[in-house]
Amino acid sequence: MNNSKNFKNLHEQDAPLLLPNAWDALSALILEQAGFKAIGTTSWGMANSLGYKDGEIISFQACLSIVEKIMAVVSIPVTVDIESGFAKTNDEIVDNVITLANLGVVGINIEDSYKPFASHLTDSVVGGLKDTAAHAELIKSIRSGLDEAGYQDFFINARIDAYFHAKDPLQETIARGSCYIASGASGIFVPGMTQSDDIKAVTRSIAAPVNVMSLPDLTDMSQLQNLGVKRFSIGNALSDLTIAFMEHTATTLLKQNNTAALYQNPAFNTQVSTVFYTVNG
């Protein structure tokens, strides 16, 4: 079974797919070695790793460079967060997706909100949700392009940003989700949705896998399974925790004028050593 079919099948189990999000080759390798069955990328973490904020401030080529390095060191399915597509036109976005598919990537997240400060935009763009029909047409174009290129099993995860922008996010999510699935999306992703009643309403209304994102008040996989969720993304939480650990340790080293803090977590040191020898051995 190829990685694309394997990845689709992971969304058809009773238990949700727990999908961790990597931001570079090393984080991806660690997640694979930990035993995860698939990996997503985090645009937030990838941008941070290059010294930028999220929101398509980095270019598609910068994103692609990181993905290439990830694909070179892991063998499990990898799906990529491409934000709003890293381009202005549908044709350009389709080309970006095909480029990723040609690398062996099995899926994407594609958002339905604008990125006001994206590096590829020269016109003034106001943030907020895109027109539903226009975004559905983009999804249709992506699906058509993938099918023509021989990537029928490629997973298009249509991210819906209604919980960040809409006055009635539940109904907006259901309406958009139904439209996107009809246009060729494989599933929908609804970050920011945390209430059980809302999640249940969406999973019962959308005839496709529903993906939610980990947040402080949304962590229980058993609860999500009961609500009908098929995919649970860690999002940027792991990269944020890693950065916070580095910030805390760096501050401690300077404050204490002592490097003892570097050697007080044997489990961490052992895991890093394992990854190092796997890559270089």
Residue-wise pLDDT tens for the chain (281 aa)? 699 999 999 999 999 999 999 999 999 999 999 999 999 999 999 999 999 999 899 999 999 999 999 999 999 999 999 999 999 999 999 999 999 999 999 999 999 998 766 666 555 455 689 999 999 999 999 999 999 999 999 999 999 999 999 999 999 999 999 999 999 999 999 999 999 999 999 999 999 999 999 999 999 999 999 999 999 999 999 999 999 999 999 999 999 999 998 888 766 665 556 555 555 54
The alpha carbon of 151 is separated from its chain's Cα centroid by a whole number of angstroms, namely 19
At what angle are helices 132-148 and 90-103 packed, to 10 degrees?
40
CA atoms of 175 and 183, how far apart (whole Å): 13
CA atoms of 128 and 102, how far apart (whole Å): 31
257 token code pair: 């004028």
Tokens 């922008």 correspond to 165
Alpha helices by DSSP H, listed for the chain, are 3-9, 25-34, 43-49, 60-73, 90-103, 132-148, 162-165, 169-182, 196-205, 221-227, 237-256, 266-280
**pLDDT value, residue 117:** 62
CA atoms of 162 and 201, how far apart (whole Å): 15
**pLDDT value, residue 124:** 47
DSSP letter for 236, please: T
CA atoms of 241 and 246, how far apart (whole Å): 9
| Bridge partner residues of 159 (DSSP) | 111, 189
**pLDDT value, residue 66:** 98
Indicate the pTM of the whole model: 0.92
**pLDDT value, residue 263:** 84
